[in-house]
């Protein structure tokens, strides 16, 4: 399957950003494969890849180890020094058991790595912590055992502008009625085609959601929708931003809406060729520009 928006992808040279995103996804979801909490060797290989990519971008990455069920897992952090309260941008690199996790969440990791690379060239910009988290998926999902929970707690309440979780950002389609929603009345407000990026936060993060939505929309690069709603709405809390809410921070999820759009969610069919790399590259550029004014 070639996603809508990727027609002719292999008949022309790939722009550098598309190529980098595709390479990261294919390495994580293709060469390494499933990266569940049981696949410790695969997670270690993924962590080494992430650290090397951070180094190539000019960072000095730091590994934060933590323990779960007798194993040691690593969060990987790269800090871009800059002005004002720091922003955390994160993505988890583990997968559901048995899934290679191209969209969930090699796409988010690829976007994280490329955003960090671009940000390293923005001397004098905002301070940003780019963090790849281990262990977001079940059985630790929604608990203090998540890598993002460990990281957020380690911040000790230091001031942050907020946190952005890059969670499944690679699946897009222009097919009518391809977009589902957690509640029926959402269809009255939001598109029926799954060709947009969603910014999702809780009501306490409404200000951050609005600022990022405005900044990304102003780029004109990719359609953007947003929602700030109570966490009880199914899906609103389903990623690493939840951990930062528990630590008292504003946080949101940048997403293609996961199982409300992608039919391959948490399955062996979540493979690299199902993703839309041209639109991922547009999202990368939109986020990069938006963070400059956030």
* 210-257 per-position pLDDT tens digit: 999 999 999 999 999 999 999 999 999 999 999 999 999 999 999 999
Confidence of residue 284 (pLDDT cuts 50, 70, 90): very high
Quick check: is 154 in a domain?
yes
Mean pLDDT, residues 190-212: 98
Quick check: is 1 in a domain?
no
pLDDT confidence of residue 84: 87
DSSP one-letter code for 26: I
Is the pLDDT at 1 greater than 50? The verdict is: no
Name the percent of the chain lying above pLDDT 90: 92
Mean pLDDT, residues 198-209: 98
pLDDT confidence of residue 109: 99
Cα–Cα nearest to 134, from 52, 68, 53: 68
C-alpha triplet 244, 245, 249: angle, nearest 5°:
70
pLDDT digits (tens, 9 = 90+) for 61-103: 999 999 999 999 999 999 999 988 999 999 999 999 999 999 9
Is the pLDDT at 10 greater than 80? The verdict is: no
Hey, what's the torsion of the CAs at 34, 39, 43, 46, to 10 degrees? Answer: -40
Name the strand (E) or helix (H) holding 90: strand 83-92
DSSP one-letter code for 13: P
Packing angle, helices 277-293 and 206-219, rounded to 10: 120
* Count of alpha carbons within 13 angstroms of residue 23, beta-carbon side: 12
Task: Please identify which residue in the block is written with the tokens 């890598």.
Answer: 147
Quick check: is 3 in a domain?
no
Tokens of 235: 């899906």
Q: How many CB atoms lie under 10 A from the CB of residue 219?
A: 16
We report the CATH number of the domain holding residue 88 as 3.40.630.10
Euclidean distance between CA atoms 278 and 294, whole angstroms:
24
- Domain extent at residue 77: 9-293
pTM: 0.94
Quick check: is 73 in a domain?
yes
Reduce the DSSP state of residue 255 to 3 states and report it.
strand
pLDDT confidence of residue 119: 95
Quick check: is 218 in a domain?
yes
Quick check: is 2 in a domain?
no
Tokens of 293: 């004014």
Quick check: is 205 in a domain?
yes
Euclidean distance between CA atoms 282 and 215, whole angstroms:
14
β-partners of residue 88 are: 129, 163
Length in residues, the chain: 294
SS (H, E, C) 143-189: CCCCHHHHHHHHCCCCCEEEEEEEECCCCCCCCCCCCCCCCHHHHHC
Euclidean distance between CA atoms 134 and 141, whole angstroms:
11
Quick check: is 242 in a domain?
yes
Euclidean distance between CA atoms 160 and 162, whole angstroms:
5
Is the pLDDT at 106 greater than 60? The verdict is: yes
Residues 141, 143, 149, 154: is their CA dihedral positive or negative? Answer: negative
Total domain count, the chain: 1
Average pLDDT, the chain: 94
Per 3-state DSSP, the chain is made up of helix, strand and coil in percentages (nearest 5) of 40, 20, 40
Q: How many CB atoms lie under 10 A from the CB of residue 176?
A: 10
pLDDT confidence of residue 117: 96
pLDDT confidence of residue 243: 98
Name the strand (E) or helix (H) holding 198: strand 197-201
Euclidean distance between CA atoms 202 and 251, whole angstroms:
8
pLDDT confidence of residue 125: 84
């Amino acid at each position: 399957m070639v996603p809508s928006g990727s027609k002719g992808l292999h008949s022309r040279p790939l722009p550098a950003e598309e190529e980098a995103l595709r390479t990261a996804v294919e390495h994580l979801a293709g060469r390494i494969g499933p990266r569940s909490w049981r696949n410790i060797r695969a997670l270690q290989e993924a962590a080494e890849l992430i650290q090397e990519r951070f180094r190539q971008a000019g960072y000095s990455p730091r590994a934060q180890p933590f323990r779960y069920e007798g194993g040691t897992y690593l969060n990987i952090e790269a800090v871009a020094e800059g002005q004002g309260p720091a922003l955390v941008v994160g993505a988890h690199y583990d997968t559901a058991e048995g899934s290679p996790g191209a969209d969930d969440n090699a796409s988010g990791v690829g976007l994280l790595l490329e955003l960090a690379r671009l940000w390293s060239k923005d001397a004098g910009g905002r301070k940003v912590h780019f963090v790849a988290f281990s262990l977001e998926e079940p059985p630790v999902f929604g608990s203090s055992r998540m890598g993002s929970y460990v990281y957020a707690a380690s911040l000790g309440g230091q001031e942050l502008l907020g946190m952005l979780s890059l969670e499944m950002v690679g699946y897009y389609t222009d097919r009518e009625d391809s977009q589902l929603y957690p509640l029926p009345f959402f269809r009255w407000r939001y598109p029926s085609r799954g060709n947009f990026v969603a910014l999702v936060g809780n009501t306490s993060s409404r200000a951050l959601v609005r600022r990022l939505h405005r900044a990304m929309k102003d780029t004109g690069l990719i359609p953007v929708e947003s929602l700030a709603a109570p966490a009880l709405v199914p899906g609103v809390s389903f990623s690493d931003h939840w951990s930062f809410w528990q630590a008292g921070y504003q946080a949101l999820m940048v997403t293609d809406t996961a199982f409300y759009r992608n039919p391959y969610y948490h399955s062996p069919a979540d493979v690299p060729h199902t993703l839309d790399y041209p639109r991922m590259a547009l999202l990368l550029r939109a986020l990069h520009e938006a963070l400059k004014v956030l």
